[in-house]
Structure 1
């Protein structure tokens, strides 16, 4: 017994993978001498004594029990024809989707263009796969968007026991349904989250053949979410309006008190006193000498001298 490949090694058609007591599985074939060969280009895996090859690319081949996402294309009688992305149109009978009694016009429940998630219950290459919607989570999908990837990469996107897709869902808090036929339904709370989910899934699809992919996707999502949180905090700080009281560097200027003009009576009294004083002290200026050569000095007498004040007490006593 011998194995001729490493874990998740890329192999090509016709490459010897193992011989001895090993059983051939998906993507492989065996010969009478007990040797197992690869039937396609893909990643070789060994689980127990079973050898399988996960294709890197390829069309979807329906299998019983697969969960698929499809679009209704035809409504005929009590049947819907559903496009599931493979070489066959799937059939869904009303009895496998509705509770009785139901209307004769089944387009009232699901019509052309509606997207559904269903399970393949049987597959015949001559008639195509048959679907059922009687199961947990099987229903018509509302809202969200469909992302198509290579069906061969679906096992890597799901991860072991759902580890990869559950990690993406937990980080981004989104709703997802992964179909084995290479269609993924995503419903996110906003456009930025949806874009980040698509980026993560596309990265898994492109790097499906590499190791430690789960850790890299986890780090990528944590960095992206941390960056978004920092941007949101900076924007909220910029949006805050701080109210401050206006301050002035100039000193207050005291109002000038207007000068009150003196009363007319006071000014008149002062003028009267001045005129009286000037009249009592007035002296005649010297005249120029006359032709006779004598100088005459004229002294002006004040004819308007004030009257003498009489003491009223003395008058009364007399």
Structure 2
């Protein structure tokens, strides 16, 4: 485990290096690139060393490009929408930032609509921008309006855990009953189940496993799940 403070250099190197939240690339006097931390936390990287980021215990989401988020439409501004993604500033979503959208054919979003979107632009001096398609394929790939379901708030760390395919929570619940989920890195999880009691059970399990909540492991969660009326 490597802990860093803002301004400290991080030894991130890879042919196709991708920097995640908390890291910034600077050019040194001799032309070499230096990777420095912009926040305090633990240095993390993917298994192949391609992506690096800083994992801290920040309470507020700080947008970073390519991250998936769940937002709430709060207003319409001309041909765009203003979206709350839990960051310091509202995000902007262009009316054409959807698969197959044209000026005559675009989604009819309303105030209060939930969206699963991707951060396309994030800069500390600008409002973040969103889009609801995959940048490579221009296809929706699961992004877009989330209809029905229930929105659960949790810690940013919990969302990062749930985005790991190896995490035990959703496979365990999915073996009990069908459920549909979308996880935003911004501390929001959307769940959709057939019955309200199942939705309540999922929400309580997320809260129980959250490191900022109960912090239960897989064995403890199975015992906890047995106490729920599902």
Q: How does the TM-score come out when normalised to structure 2?
A: 0.70
Distance 1:45 1:122, change over 3 A: closer
Residue 166 of structure 1, CA deviation: 3.4
1:139 to 138, 144, 159: 144
Distance 1:46 1:142, change over 3 A: closer
**How do 1:153-172 residues align onto structure 2 when only pairs under 5 Å count?**
153-161=158-166, 163-172=168-177
Distance 1:122 1:220, change over 3 A: same
Mapped partners of 1:37, 1:112: distance in 2 = 37
Q: How does the TM-score come out when normalised to structure 1?
A: 0.52
Q: Which has the higher contact order (CA 8 A, sep 6+)?
A: 2
Aligned residues, how many? Answer: 205
2:220 to 191, 213, 216: 216
Residue 126 of structure 1, CA deviation: 2.4
Question: Can you give the 5+ residue segments of structure 2 that lack an aligned partner in the other structure?
Answer: 14-18, 25-35, 134-139
Residue 92 of structure 1 corresponds to which residue in structure 2?
93
Mapped partners of 1:78, 1:37: distance in 2 = 37
Is this contact kept in 1: 2:43–2:53, CA < 8 A?
A: yes
Highest CA radius of gyration, 1 or 2?
1
Which one has the bigger helix percentage? 1
Which one has the bigger strand percentage? 2
Residue 84 of structure 1, CA deviation: 0.5
Residue 72 of structure 1, CA deviation: 0.9
Any idea what SS the aligned residue of 2:176 has? helix
Is this contact kept in 2: 1:119–1:132, CA < 8 A?
A: yes
The range that moved more, 71-80 or 201-210, is 201-210
Residue 178 of structure 1, CA deviation: 0.7
Distance 1:116 1:27, change over 3 A: closer
| Per-residue deviation, residues 85-118 of structure 1 (Å, max 9, x unmatched) | 1112111111112622426xx7x71121211111
Any idea what SS the aligned residue of 2:63 has? coil
Distance 1:63 1:56, change over 3 A: same
**How do 1:236-275 residues align onto structure 2 when only pairs under 5 Å count?**
none
Is this contact kept in 2: 1:157–1:205, CA < 8 A?
A: no
Is this contact kept in 1: 2:207–2:213, CA < 8 A?
A: no
Is this contact kept in 2: 1:72–1:80, CA < 8 A?
A: yes
